[in-house]
Structure 1
Amino acid sequence: MKNLQTGDQTLVKTMNKSIILKLIADKGPVSRAQISKVTGLNKATVSTQALELINDNFVYEIGVGKSSGGRKPVMIYFNNLAGYSIGIDLGVNYILGVLTDLSGNIIEEITKPLNGINFDYIIKNIISTIENLIHMAPDSPYGIVGIGIGVPGIVDKNGNILFAPNLKWTQINVKKIIEDTFNIPTRIENEANAGAYGEQLYGAGKNIDNIIYISIGIGIGAGIMINNTLYTGSSGISGEIGHLSIEANGIKCSCGNRGCWELYASESVLLSEVEKHQALTDEDGKNIESIINEARNGNIKVLQILNTIGEYIGIGLTNIINTFNPETIIIGNRMAQFANWLTNPIEHMLEERLSTYHKNNTQIYFSELGNYSCALGASYFSISNFFSNKKLTVI
């Protein structure tokens, strides 16, 4: 019984410390008296736990606040610079790496184009990106607390990449390679799942319990958040929405299916259609940035291609809304940069195909984080794992 009581006391202490730390992170700077009032914990408990958090470098005192009478209170602030996390968004044709503090603020970033899908080539570029971000990190008590990598493929619950069709990868253990190289805890996650977390924590999905994040890059994936929890399916591989068939006898896909949504509504389609129709005035600049410039300049061919892609995006969204009836859909990844030209054709398709009941109950937004949704979500996973190992909760 004595051991059980000791265990109970340890658990309660840990829970109290998490409650206090989260409040400081969310509301700081706050005084010990404010913490006691908001949490209902007695002042002695707050003082003891706050001192432990100060000794652990997770919070610090920043001077005195205003007083309503008597001695001015000492204010406590979350030390978001106690450590740093690395988030990697691995695209098929790019790598985006960010160094964030423990609050998810971007401190440094690196973007690299990828000119091939050879595994050794991509791993070399991932490693060099991580190395550079580590060197950029300021000194801190905990250093780099973790690495998160979002990948465009099916990832199981152990972080194994089962299949990444656009990279032509099968059964790849990137987690082991990165951990063996850097000796830093690493989390591998599907890029759309990471993006869903990024948007819910820091972007358009804030304070929304039920969202579906649609990542439209070279392929299309979905991160499904139900009651603030990521839905991963029975084996952890849900969300491969880009391989939903929208044409029964359509184009053959590398996944083995035909008529997959991503073959009609993705960045790869945009790039191939622009080349096919010789839509760019600058033939040396066949990339997203040059296509955006052409759209801004009113290039008719580019605008027609974007309109068609927008209609196909709308068709896919119709199926998703009919299936899930989500509170919010967020469109992210690199195609979100074309929001100005995709919004009208998407809305036209939804107006034409959805029932009034579904139309009126789902809000559709484009990402507030732009290209950073996945990288920030991947960084969050590492931060969360770090605090979880300390038996603490912040985010």
Structure 2
Amino acid sequence: MKITGDQALVKRINKSLVLDSIRQHAPLSRTSVSRLTGLNKATVSNLVQELIDDQLVLESGEGQSSGGRKPLMLEFNRTAGYAAGVELTVNELTIVLTDLEGEIIARQMMPLQDHQVSTTLELMQQMMTRLLTEVPASVHGLIGMGVGVPGMVDALGNVLFAPNLGWEGVPLRVELEQLFGLPVTIDNEANAGAIGELQFGAGRHVRNLVYVSVGMGIGSGIIIDGEPYKGARGYAGETGHMSVEAYGLPCSCGSRGCWELYASELAYDHALRDPLLDSTTAYWVQQAEWDEPEAIELFRRIGEYLGIGITNLVNSFNPEVVIIGGHMRQAQPWIAPHVQTVVSQRTLPYHRQKLVIQYSELGDQSAVIGAAYAAISQFLGRVRVSV
């Protein structure tokens, strides 16, 4: 009998549902999987067997019985393969190796010498070569690479515009797939951070959130009803370039008064009297820990401007949770009160009901873990379907 594309697609979707249920709720019996997915027991049994054959699901032993034969319990095999997660920032390149549940196995970080595409790819290749020696033996090996970049990315994995890197029209996915011979996903780093927090961090139990990545710039990852919101052409979330000062400082994007000039690490440049000092969040946090008035005042201003931008996002998207991540998370003790005050004063009353402002549970790892998860999702979504 000829199997139509539609039948194969339905089976692939059902198989993905079964695998996702086991991954999220294990240990589960086949009966429980049937109840969770709404699929009949025969379909579940066949799909589970295929997943066992793929070594993505394991039978872990007998469960409790309400009478009769004890059911065999199912577990997701998190070590069936491994993924690489990459975060490219203005100052550094970070690569992690994770299992299929996003647990970091190995990590490397190197500073960027410049922003040339060729030298960035060369550094990535050097780091990946070292990382490959740490991949444990597994049935599926290294299943793919996910990359988060600070800029606008289209559906084909092209970096359209990354003003803080000086990149425009870079076919990054194609370049990396040719370089490494792996499936590659490319996304904005804030979108990757939002996915990381949604799956493994502060957003695990919500369906609507905004993740604000604050480093050498600002980007936002928006999750609506459990799914990333990317806009009509995939470019949503460039909130660092919304104007918060109508006639403010000129920005590298070509506009003026952009949020990130006042609420990201770019704000440090305007605060330093000595341009030779190391202008980093770590430096200013140390100054604040020593109760230096200049640092306390700097974080007050940054916190207030962060609150202004977050107010705009809350009034626009009505999220349950706003998560602040990136390097600026290190300054939480000094910025948090000012962020909260501004948001409480300026958001519409119904929008701030039950609103929670949190700081990344994954620390500086949100984007790399989210990028790795994108590669994992792509791999699990293309799991072989037998017909």
**Counterpart contact for 2:146–2:372, Cα < 8 Å:** yes
CA distance in 2, matches of 1:389, 1:286: 45
Q: Percent identity?
A: 44
Deviations along 1:46-69, whole A, 9 cap, x unmatched?
Answer: 433322211111112233344555
Structure 1 counterpart of 2:17: 19
CA distance in 2, matches of 1:104, 1:177: 25
- SS class of match (1:208): coil
**Counterpart contact for 2:143–2:183, Cα < 8 Å:** yes
The partner residue of 1:83 within 75, 81, 84 is: 81
Corresponding position: 1:276 with 2:278 = no
Deviations along 1:224-272, whole A, 9 cap, x unmatched?
Answer: 12222222122211111111111122111111101111111101223x2
* TM-score normalized by the length of structure 1: 0.89
Structure 2 counterpart of 1:128: 126
* Uncovered stretches (5+) of structure 1, i.e. residues with no partner: none
Q: Which amino acid aligns with 1:314?
A: G
CA distance in 2, matches of 1:44, 1:14: 16
Q: 1:39 to 1:319 in 2, by over 3 A?
A: closer
CA distance in 2, matches of 1:367, 1:306: 18
Deviation at 1:155, TM superposition (A): 0.9
* TM-score normalized by the length of structure 2: 0.91
For the aligned residue pairs, the C-alpha RMSD in angstroms reads: 2.4
The partner residue of 1:102 within 100, 103, 121 is: 100
Structure 2 counterpart of 1:74: 72
CA distance in 2, matches of 1:15, 1:321: 34
The partner residue of 1:163 within 141, 161, 164 is: 161
**Counterpart contact for 2:213–2:325, Cα < 8 Å:** yes
The partner residue of 1:315 within 308, 312, 332 is: 308
* Uncovered stretches (5+) of structure 2, i.e. residues with no partner: none
Structure 2 counterpart of 1:381: 374
Within 5 Å, give how 1:1-395 maps onto structure 2. Answer: 3=2, 10-36=8-34, 38-39=36-37, 41-67=39-65, 70-270=68-268, 272-273=269-270, 275-276=272-273, 286-390=279-383
Q: Which amino acid aligns with 1:135?
A: T
CA distance in 1, matches of 2:184, 2:255: 32
**Counterpart contact for 2:98–2:105, Cα < 8 Å:** yes
Q: 1:353 to 1:29 in 2, by over 3 A?
A: closer
CA distance in 2, matches of 1:240, 1:16: 35
CA distance in 1, matches of 2:38, 2:163: 52
Q: 1:391 to 1:258 in 2, by over 3 A?
A: farther
CA distance in 1, matches of 2:235, 2:37: 38
CA distance in 1, matches of 2:144, 2:97: 10
Deviation at 1:198, TM superposition (A): 1.1
**Counterpart contact for 2:96–2:105, Cα < 8 Å:** yes
Q: Which amino acid aligns with 2:99?
A: D
Q: 1:301 to 1:8 in 2, by over 3 A?
A: closer
Deviation at 1:341, TM superposition (A): 0.8
